[in-house]
Chains A and B, each alone.
Chain A
């Protein structure tokens, strides 16, 4: 236990790295995923296919393999980023975007067809239909799965620890080497830091989900 208290600053650094990895990747994945999601519901076939191919390929690839690509393979292809933080953010974003895309798509598809038809029937234009009718309803359905996706992202950021980024899991590994006698306490504490993020977020998702179910 003493080891944990002595090393608190290191834990804190790891926690902040995890947090910044997660937030950066979440922001990029949200933008990329929304664009891909709009591709998937577009009337244009080629864009739809592109979105589908992206989602199917990425969803069936393990995150570790995506990390391998950006950390080990990319330098062979002429992309050498400084450090390991940037490839970790890119790998997490590329991976998470596929899941955001699916959430956005199912959110839009969850709005009843009649809603759009009614909107067009009373003469709303496409942007109006989107802004006033479809998106407000889709938004509600999308939020709970999105929160779950970001919880998963928080946990997934631990993979970066295996690829030379000193986030929480990386710190845990380093500390369990340094304090072989206190391994259990050291690792439990790493877990506690993850739970500090994931449990409140999970409760929030459940709360929002109940609200949404009630509002329908």
Chain B
């Protein structure tokens, strides 16, 4: 495939690519080997250490370990993420609508609030919820997630509406729809569909941010990992880390794939149609995608 950087390779370039490919593979394998050996020296591959998940010591059963990780840990993570996502989506919609209000008296304060919450760290918001507002830990976590993510979701929805061709709202007004009717029956449905991938990646971010609950003492997945190592001993940290990372990556990867799938489906459906308008605002749509990537 030709790219902006290089043409379709000829025979010589193919040989060169092959050579570099082998060099690259050796480099990567070398890194992996170094990591493996370092771990081996510390006895991290010792089967006894991994038996913590099949036949744990100290009178515990494998079920105890797994249920503390999956049911208590992942369960708490998903519960906080699910509730926060539902509230944040609803609140984000409200904020987006208010932000596009015709009245400056509404628009400006809402814009300020959105900018304010977008610029604050989520963990600070969670901590504020627990310490200053006296919320229980769980609701503190949800509070932090909701405040931050509803601001972001509002911006995503607004970007979606702005990216629609002007003809959409003109036509809506021309057939006699009012401002609100136009917004809810014509503009928002298109904006939501267009921004679905960004919305899903924001939900991945939200799920990841649930882990900040670890810092303020919410007993989610990562805290369960730590509790387990405190119970069984620090020497099991690496094993618990690997399992914890695997759980997180599996869940998030599935969600990310969903975003990619929706994006593909969206572009296929809208090919040649409305979505082309996205290009008209060039930077803006790129910015939307980048927001998905940067909302770290």
Contacts and interface: CB of A to CB of B under 8 A. Distances in A.
A139 interface: no
A9 interface: no
Contact of B245 (A44, A65, A155): A65
A108 B127 contact: no
| Chain B contact residues: helix, strand, loop or mixed | helix
Interface string B1-42: 011111101000100010011101100100000000011011
Nearest to A213: B283
Contact of A64 (B120, B215, B290, B294): B215
B215 A159 contact: yes
A120 B282 CA distance: 26
Contacts of B237: 72-73, 76
Contact of A169 (B42, B127, B225, B241): B127
A27 to B, nearest CB: 17
Interface residues of A, number: 76
Nearest to A57: B249
Contacts of B53: none
Given A73-B238, A103-B290, A95 B296 contact: yes
B167 interface: no
A158 B17 contact: no
A112 to B, nearest CB: 7
A2 B214 CA distance: 31
B6 A156 contact: no
B157 interface: no
Contacts of A106: 286, 289-290, 293
Contacts of A115: 4
Contact of B293 (A99, A111, A169, A198): A99
Interface stretch (B100-108, B176-184, B205-213): B205-213
A194 B290 contact: no
Interface in A71-111: 72-73, 76-78, 95-96, 99, 102-103, 106, 108-111
Interface string A153-172: 10110110110000001001
B258 interface: no
Contact of A199 (B115, B214, B282, B291): B115
B136 interface: no
B38 A78 contact: yes
A191 B116 CA distance: 9
Given A60-B253, A152-B294, A169-B121, A110 B286 contact: yes
A28 interface: no
Interface centre among A102, A111, A191 (most CB of B within 10 A): A191
Nearest to A177: B131
Nearest to A203: B115
Nearest to B294: A148
Contacts of B41: 78
Given A46-B24, A116-B4, A216-B282, A194 B119 contact: yes
A50 B289 CA distance: 23
Interface in B106-128: 115-116, 118-124, 127-128
Contact of B238 (A77, A151, A159, A194): A77
Contact of A45 (B13, B21, B120, B132): B21
A216 B116 CA distance: 31
* 9 interchain residue pairs of minimum CB distance: A162-B215, A213-B283, A145-B290, A198-B119, A158-B121, A116-B4, A62-B211, A46-B24, A60-B252
Given A44-B21, A46-B21, 12 more contacts: A47-B24, A63-B208, A72-B226, A73-B241, A77-B238, A78-B41, A78-B42, A161-B123, A187-B132, A194-B119, A194-B121, A209-B283
6 contacts: A60-B253, A63-B208, A64-B211, A64-B222, A76-B234, A198-B120
Interface of A: 41, 43-47, 50, 56-57, 59-65, 68-69, 72-73, 76-78, 95-96, 99, 102-103, 106, 108-113, 115-117, 120, 126, 129-130, 134, 141, 144-145, 148-149, 151-153, 155-156, 158-159, 161-162, 169, 172-173, 176, 183-184, 187, 190-191, 194-195, 198-199, 202, 209-210, 212-213, 216
